[in-house]
Amino acid sequence: MAAPSPGPREVLAPSPEAGCRAVTSSRRGLLWRLRDKQSRLGLFEISPGHELHGMTCMMQAGLWAATQVSMDHPPTGPPSQDDFSEVLTQVHEGFELGTLAGPAFAWLRRSLGLAEEDYQAALGPGGPYLQFLSTSKSKASFFLSHDQRFFLKTQGRREVQVLLAHLPRYVQHLQRHPHSLLARLLGVHSLRVNRGKKTYFIIMQSVFYPAGRISERYDIKGCEVSRWVEPAPEGSALVLVLKDLNFQGKTIKLGPQRSWFLRQMELDTTFLRELNVLDYSLLMAFHCLHEDERGLGSSLIFRTARSVEGAQSPEESEAQNRRLLPDTPNALHILDGPEQRYFLGVVDLATVYGLRKRLEYLWKTLRYPSRTFSTVSPARYARRLCQWVEAHTE
């Protein structure tokens, strides 16, 4: 690995040539702005005056500089133990941005076919981040890159420690199962303003991308308690992620893809059970396919070559549970049924079943004696989510 030496390091960061304040709508054509505005219905630009504008500008400048390091020192092979433990702190004017396990994530991004230049352009100061109203009970902040391709979420220090502890096994799981439904974690960072307390955040590929035609979004845990969201009023532009009880009476219609989906859910939840993790969610969204999008069509040869790339034999491909990937961006999270396109991914992988969650389970058992809730053992959680998927697919 031709990367900087491992361990905590602090360096003066380079600066992008154009900062957040230099981005103005006058640089963009009217037609582009109208089309862009239409694709962002229900989302809010974090522009000057927004309470999080300063924070996101620092994130953008910091991520531009952090990605420049991986561009200057690209990975030359799979990550080493030192790569997983490296911490790089870049000092900017008024803040510091930490990059945790940077070489490991750079290798992971490359293995996904993601160009560092595209990653830097999407997350850097080329346009404002977007915010949406989250239905999550956590106190985290959620953002999207301006092109909606990447999802950013603030995390607690304990959750970050769990993610980093599990990172080597997570990378190994994605190598064994390249078409896994686990959300693709692309980076873990810390932001420290004026020597204050660190704010940690993660970056993932957005499961709901491209989002322009998505009609409904759901966060599924396979239980009942606190799993209802009041839908947005008819005609509202709000983008809400609904929950289990909102999906009652509905079905995910996958046709021949159903058996692959059930098998992959079993593989991924078994992995999470082995990590002693619970409280993760199956994100699901969909939109109708146009007539010319239905069926395999003329892209079958391309899709077949793309989907088996890296497999050594048919037996290995079957063990890895590969499938034909659609010829579309974000193909790993997209599954086409006979009439609808589904966006599917498993997220929130940082809650461990420790003493606190065991006590929470005992309390909820008394509080909700005849109802299902999220805090159960990892084995039961995995089994129950797989049962939900089996019962709600055809």
pLDDT of residue 27: 39
Q: pTM of the prediction?
A: 0.87
pLDDT of residue 305: 42
Assign a CATH topology to domain 33-205: Phosphatidylinositol Phosphate Kinase II Beta (3.30.800)
H or E element that contains 131: strand 130-131
Three-state SS at 295: coil
Amino acid identity for residue 168 in this structure: P
pLDDT of residue 240: 87
pLDDT of residue 14: 78
pLDDT of residue 370: 87
pLDDT of residue 236: 79
pLDDT by 10s per residue, the chain, length 394: 444 445 677 777 777 754 444 333 333 444 334 344 434 456 889 999 999 999 999 999 999 999 999 999 999 999 999 999 999 999 999 999 999 999 999 999 999 999 999 999 999 998 999 987 666 667 789 999 999 999 999 999 999 999 999 999 999 999 999 999 999 999 999 999 998 999 999 999 999 999 989 999 999 999 999 999 999 888 777 788 999 999 999 999 999 999 999 999 999 999 999 999 999 999 999 999 999 888 754 344 344 445 545 555 666 767 899 999 998 899 999 999 999 999 999 999 999 999 999 999 999 999 999 899 999 999 999 999 999 999 999 9
User: CATH 3.30.800.10 region(s) of the chain?
Assistant: 33-205
Peptide bond into 79 cis (omega under 30): no
The correct CATH number of 214-294+326-392 out of 3.30.420.40, 3.30.810.10, 3.40.50.300, 3.30.1950.10 is 3.30.810.10
Three-state SS at 86: coil
Adjacency order of strands within the sheet including 130-131 = 8-12, 87-92, 95-100, 185-193, 198-205, 150-155, 142-144, 130-131, 44-45
Beta bridge partner(s), residue 190: 98, 200
DSSP sequence for 226-266: T---PPPPTT------EEGGGGTT--B--GGGHHHHHHHHH
Amino acid identity for residue 384 in this structure: R
Distance of CA 382 to the CA centre of its chain: 19
Closest among 89, 103, 206, 100 to 161, alpha carbons compared: 100
Q: Are strands 142-144 and 87-92 parallel, antiparallel or unpaired?
A: unpaired
Closest among 19, 59, 51 to 200, alpha carbons compared: 59
Tell me which DSSP letter residue 311 carries.
Answer: -
Beta bridge partner(s), residue 155: 200
User: CATH 3.30.810.10 region(s) of the chain?
Assistant: 214-294+326-392
Three-state SS at 9: strand
Closest among 154, 169, 388, 152 to 271, alpha carbons compared: 169
H or E element that contains 152: strand 150-155
pLDDT of residue 17: 57
Q: Are 240 and 229 in contact (CB under 8 A)?
A: yes
pLDDT of residue 42: 64
Beta bridge partner(s), residue 219: 243, 283
Q: Backbone phi, then psi, for 35, in 5-degree steps?
A: -65, -40
